Amino acid sequence: MTSQNLYEVKPLSLQDRKKLKRQYVYIIVFGVFAGAIFFFIYNFVLSTGQMGNIPVFIFTAFALIFALFISYFFWSTYLDLKKGIKHCYTGIVTDKRINKHTSSSARHNSGGSHRNGSSRKNTQTHYYITIENKQHSVNYKQFSQVKINEKVYLEVSPKKKEVLAFNVLEKNTETIESYNSIIRKQNFDNLEKSLPMREKDIELVK
């Protein structure tokens, strides 16, 4: 069964379901860990009232946004398991893209001032490949396995876009042959530099 000739719809396998169910565990563990941090900050820092109401409002808004993200990931995984299907893409990789996002957070000194505080930078890297004009998010291992103009097979969950399977079907032989020819030329050049040409060789190249 195809949809707009872009992908094929298949039922989730037992292994696919196990992989998606593991996401529940990761989400719950991460949510509990983050919730403990929020609880600690609120009870031991903000609840004293020494910093005023504005930091409490900002902290509450941030906690709500974080809770919405956790709820979205949990709900999207639930919907993928409930639907029981996956989208299967087969096609040529037409583009590869790396997106890096750097955020910085300031550390305060004991007096609460930024003047003598330090900043910590956090960089997030996302990898994308395009198959037949459709962009997909993949991990670093999958991104490094494939090159442009190679044919791949990709299975993803419809809602969460979790990659369930990734295989390179056809390698780009032109790229491989070009790489091999470069290596052979480099080896020949190195050999030519290390060994002096004989008189017969000189006569051949004249």
Residue 115, CA distances (Å) to 2, 51, 118, 151 in order: 60, 18, 9, 54
Examine the domain organization and report whether 37 and 134 are in the same domain: yes
pLDDT per residue over 32-89, tens digit each?
888 888 888 777 766 666 666 777 788 788 888 888 888 888 899 999 999 999 999 9
Examine the domain organization and report whether 84 and 178 are in the same domain: no
What is the Cα gyration radius of the chain? Answer: 27
Examine the domain organization and report whether 159 and 180 are in the same domain: no
Task: Give residue 81's pLDDT.
Answer: 92
Q: Which two tokens stand for residue 166?
A: 């990734």
Q: Look at the alpha carbons of 74, 79, 82, 83 in this order and tell me if their dihedral is positive or negative.
A: negative
Task: Give residue 190's pLDDT.
Answer: 53
Q: Which two tokens stand for residue 187?
A: 């080896």
Examine the domain organization and report whether 10 and 82 are in the same domain: yes
pLDDT per residue over 129-173, tens digit each?
999 889 999 999 999 999 999 999 999 999 999 999 999 998 876
| Bridge partner residues of 136 (DSSP) | 129
Contact 135, 158 (CB under 8 A): no
pLDDT per residue over 102-127, tens digit each?
766 555 454 444 455 556 677 889 99
Task: Give residue 100's pLDDT.
Answer: 84
Task: Give residue 179's pLDDT.
Answer: 45
What range does the domain containing 201 cover? 174-206
Examine the domain organization and report whether 199 and 98 are in the same domain: no
Examine the domain organization and report whether 87 and 152 are in the same domain: yes
Examine the domain organization and report whether 182 and 161 are in the same domain: no
Examine the domain organization and report whether 167 and 188 are in the same domain: no
Contact 10, 86 (CB under 8 A): yes
Residues 6+ apart with CB under 8 A from 1: 8, 9
What domain count does the chain have? 2
Write out the E strands in 85-184.
85-106, 119-131, 134-138, 151-156, 163-170
169-193 burial by CB neighbour count: b if 16+ within 10 A, else e?
Answer: eeebeeeeeeeeeeeeeeeeeeeee
Examine the domain organization and report whether 148 and 181 are in the same domain: no
Examine the domain organization and report whether 195 and 124 are in the same domain: no
Contact 133, 115 (CB under 8 A): no
Q: Which two tokens stand for residue 80?
A: 């993928």
DSSP SS3 for 173: helix
181 or 67, higher pLDDT: 67
Examine the domain organization and report whether 24 and 121 are in the same domain: yes
Examine the domain organization and report whether 128 and 198 are in the same domain: no
Q: Which two tokens stand for residue 175?
A: 């790229």
